[in-house]
Chains A and B, each alone.
Chain A
Amino acid sequence: ELKVEQNPLFLSMQEGKNYTIYCNYSTTSDRLYWYRQDPGKSLESLFVLLSNGAVKQEGRLMASLDTKARLSTLHITAAVHDLSATYFCVRQGAQKLVFGQGTRLTINP
């Protein structure tokens, strides 16, 4: 069974700091996604990672994938308040997406 585990589950950080969210998964599969969710809202796709060594960057967020270690990371550089949200690591199963528990990120001024 495909399982996805994220850590930390809660992260409070100051503006301007850097931090990394880690995502471990149990079995190999096609692709890995990172989604963002604001409170009470739907899911916004941030990154799709397709192969070992893939790295994608958008603004202050950078995601990477290591399929040998079954690990993905989401790195936040010089955090700003607008990045406060819950971030989900998601693996693609046969038909379904399998979500991690989510990391609730709070960025304080």
Chain B
Amino acid sequence: ETGVTQSPTHLIKTRGQQVTLRCSSQSGHNTVSWYQQALGQGPQFIFQYYREEENGRGNFPPRFSGLQFPNYSSELNVNALELDDSALYLCASSPKGRQGATYEQYFGPGTRLTVT
């Protein structure tokens, strides 16, 4: 069974640029969540995708957007990068059963984004 994978592992961008981060969910999982973890802090929920639709969003501006594909992999896009966007971005997948039921989330290795 393949776990959650993310790419790239590290990325350096300049302020104002755009970035796309990718996540492949664990086999059998149809839900993907994205989290931002700034240095020394706990992860913060960005949004969740379930069956290709956004299924909840945290307190992040619209320049953070996402996609989920039919194979349940996902992308996180960030436009107009700011210095404060420097963080570890974590993707987590989970199976989702009956309406509203959420199960344990399994985290990928993360993408370290540095904005200069």
Task: List the A side residues contacting B41 at CB < 8 Å.
Answer: 101-102
Task: List the A side residues contacting B48 at CB < 8 Å.
Answer: 95-96
Against B, the Cβ 8 Å flags (1 = close, 0 = not) of A66-109 are 00000000000000000000001000111111111110000000
A105 CB to closest chain B CB (Å) equals 14
Sort chain A's interface into a size bin: 20 to 34
A12 within 8 A of B: no
Contact A97 B90 (CB under 8 A): no
The secondary structure that dominates the B interface is: strand
Of B44, B102, B110, the contact of A92 (CB 8 Å cutoff): B102
Please, how many angstroms separate the alpha-carbon atoms of A22 and B58 in the complex? 26
The secondary structure that dominates the A interface is: loop
Q: How many A-B contacts are there with CB distance less than 8 Å?
A: 51
Contact A96 B106 (CB under 8 A): no
Contact A96 B56 (CB under 8 A): yes
Contact A30 B102 (CB under 8 A): yes
Chain B residue with Cβ nearest A44: B107
Of B42, B90, B104, the contact of A102 (CB 8 Å cutoff): B42
Please, how many angstroms separate the alpha-carbon atoms of A45 and B58 in the complex? 22
Of A42, A95, A98, A101, the contact of B102 (CB 8 Å cutoff): A95
Contact A95 B107 (CB under 8 A): no
B33 within 8 A of A: yes
Chain B residue with Cβ nearest A31: B104
A43 within 8 A of B: yes
Q: Which of A40, A43, A45, A96 has the most CB of B within 10 A?
A: A96
Show 12 A/B contacts (Cβ-Cβ < 8 Å), sorted by A.
Answer: A30-B102, A41-B109, A42-B90, A43-B90, A45-B107, A88-B42, A88-B43, A92-B102, A95-B33, A96-B48, A97-B43, A97-B45
Interface residues, chain B, with chain A CB atoms under 8 Å away: 33, 35, 41-45, 48, 55-56, 58, 90, 92, 100, 102, 104-110, 112
A-B contacts besides A41-B109, A97-B45, 4 pairs, CB < 8 Å: A40-B112, A95-B45, A98-B45, A99-B42
